[in-house]
Amino acid sequence: MSDYLIELIDITKTFPGVRALDNVSMKVISGEVHALVGENGAGKSTLIKILAGVFRPDGNKSVIKIAGEEVELNNPIIAQECGVSVIYQEFNLLPYLSVTENIFLGRLPTKKSGIIDWKKANSNASEILLSLNLDIDPRTFLKDLSVAQKQIVEIGKALSLNARIIIMDEPSAVLAGEELNYLFEVIRSLKERGITVVYISHRLDEIFEIADRATVLKDGKLVGTLKIQDAEKSELIEMMIGRTLDETFPKSSNGTGKKILEVKNISTKNLINNVSFILHKGEVLGIAGLVGSGKTELARALFGVDSLTNGQIIIDEKTVKNIDPKKAVELGIGLVPEDRKSQGLVLKLSIKKNITLPVLKFFTKIGLIKKNLEIKYVKDHMQALEIKAPGINTVVQQLSGGNQQKVVVAKWLGTNPNVFILDEPTRGIDVGTKKEMYNIIRDLAEDGAGVIMMSSELLEILGMSDRILVMHQGEIAGELKSDEASEERILRLAIGE
């Protein structure tokens, strides 16, 4: 019998205008944690969806073997029967059902009479979750769980389906600090049970911590598979982006100018409690904190999405009354939101339409759009952020996750705001483009904007910020200057010490 649990051989997949995968082969050893890495649009999610039976490969040259046997994964149910479960970033769970119902949907145990045996169902659910170290009442509505807990419920559901192979597509993008450690513990315990894990992530530190081997894709082609133990980070980066990359951050000129934004004792119904700080022209103010600490809620308050129950926002020495998003834009505030799918993009519209949405008035003269200018504008922005797509008219929905994120950023770059709020700006973005993004953020500050950057990646906060505010439970737990900040000091503040 073969040593490999999964063999994907010569997989090709074409979408209109794009060859997402070109003759890719990947072999996964039984019981290992196998990382799948590559730039945005490299084909990672597509390969996973083929293994999950969501997409069919082109032609008949492609072969898929599971435990040595050739299989036809024509749909997700067949894939599931072969033991494949996928944890997608957008969970497949139902918010208004209980944890138990989510785990056993369509498979709830019944009594002889045919009615559902809730006692048994709940205790089975509890047992699975406890084995993953999650001690919650299984009757809780799913919507009341944290993101990390939802992830564990998904994993529990996979186990209840007797999954042998659990695939995770960027699970860590929504986690930070302790939650990430918890996920790693769960992955290690899955491994101990003999379950094979395929793990997609753009964070190389994680891959070096958790993976046994990694397969690298680039532009839909296989670059190679390597053993993490024998590999260097720089080697992996070079395989991914085809060149070396120094991992340093762009230097800050530290020239902070006059005060452009002052926040005085603001509170909202949505977590924010008595927050005060000042933002200067030319500075990057990092906002650190664990998931759920209020970073996103702060962004929402500043942009007027959530209304203030108390306190003041002062821009250019003038107090702004009842800020809302429209007023915020007029006052020169730009926001790149965290949740790109629901807030940042119109998925059914083209890249061009999305990017020019906030600046359309610059291209319109008596109702007519200056087409050439508009096209140049969009092309310039696509180039600056290395957005990979067949053309400017490609519908955003068809882009890879990371490329969608870049479109959101491009959309706001052109509005030239004085205060730029970026909530997790590099989430889901590959290492090469991350560096570009850092340069862009530094340029924005250098050109005189004040930048507020929320991030749960400590290295990015430390590398980019002139000053750091650490949040804990909706409040500012402390402020650190860049030269006095360290991972440890941030974490201590973040956990409320």
Ligand X SMILES: Nc1ncnc2c1ncn2[C@@H]1O[C@H](COP(=O)(O)OP(=O)(O)OP(=O)(O)O)[C@@H](O)[C@H]1O
Q: Which residues form the interface with ligand X (CB under 6 A)? A: 15, 18, 20, 38, 40-46, 388, 398-403
Q: Does 45 engage in binding with Mg ion (CB under 5 A)? A: yes
* Shorter beta-carbon distance to ligand X: residue 51 or 477: 51
Residue placing its CB nearer to ligand X in the complex, 457 or 475: 457
Cα–Cα distance between 389 and 18 in angstroms, integer? 8
- Which listed option, ligand X, Mg ion, none, makes contact with residue 41 (CB within 5 to 8 Å by class)? ligand X
Q: Checking phi first, is residue 80 left (phi over 0); if not, alpha (psi -120 to 50) or beta?
A: alpha
Task: Report, in Å, the least distance between residue 89 CB and Mg ion.
Answer: 8
Q: In whole angstroms, how close is the CB of 174 to ligand X at the nearest point?
A: 14
Cα 474 to Cα 440: distance, rounded to the nearest angstrom? 29
Q: Give me the phi and psi of 274, to 5 degrees please.
A: 55, 55
Residues 379-408 interacting with Mg ion (rule: CB under 5 A): 400-401
CB of 241 to ligand X, least distance (A): 12
β-bridge pairing 259-268 and 308-315: antiparallel
- 60 is written with which tokens? 């008949």
Nearer of residues 401 and 478 to Mg ion, judged by Cβ: 401
Q: How far is the CB of 38 from ligand X (least distance, A)?
A: 5
The C-alpha atoms of residue 242 and residue 225 are separated, in whole angstroms, by 15
- In the complex, least distance from residue 44 CB atom to Mg ion, rounded to whole angstroms: 5
Which listed option, ligand X, Mg ion, none, makes contact with residue 354 (CB within 5 to 8 Å by class)?
none
Please answer whether residues 117 and 197 qualify as being in contact, where contact means their C-beta atoms are separated by less than 8 angstroms. Answer: no
State which residue, 173 or 290, has the beta carbon closest to Mg ion.
173
Pick what 388 binds: ligand X, Mg ion, none; C-beta below 5 to 8 Å, kind-dependent: ligand X
Does residue 268 belong to the site contacting Mg ion (CB under 5 A)? no
Query: To the nearest whole angstrom, how small is the minimum distance from the Cβ of residue 89 to ligand X?
Result: 9
Contact partner at residue 20 from ligand X, Mg ion, none, CB < 5 to 8 Å by partner kind: ligand X
Which long-range contacts (C-beta less than 8 Å, at least 24 apart) are formed by 246-254? 248/463, 249/438, 249/463, 249/464, 250/438, 250/439, 250/442, 251/442, 252/284, 252/442, 252/445, 252/466, 252/482, 253/282, 253/446, 254/466
Q: Name the 3-class secondary structure at 206.
A: helix
CB closer to Mg ion out of 394 and 482? 394
Closer to ligand X by CB, 388 or 411: give it.
Answer: 388
DSSP annotation of 340: I
Is 220 a residue that touches Mg ion (CB under 5 A)?
no
Contact residues for Mg ion, defined by CB under 5 A: 45, 400-401
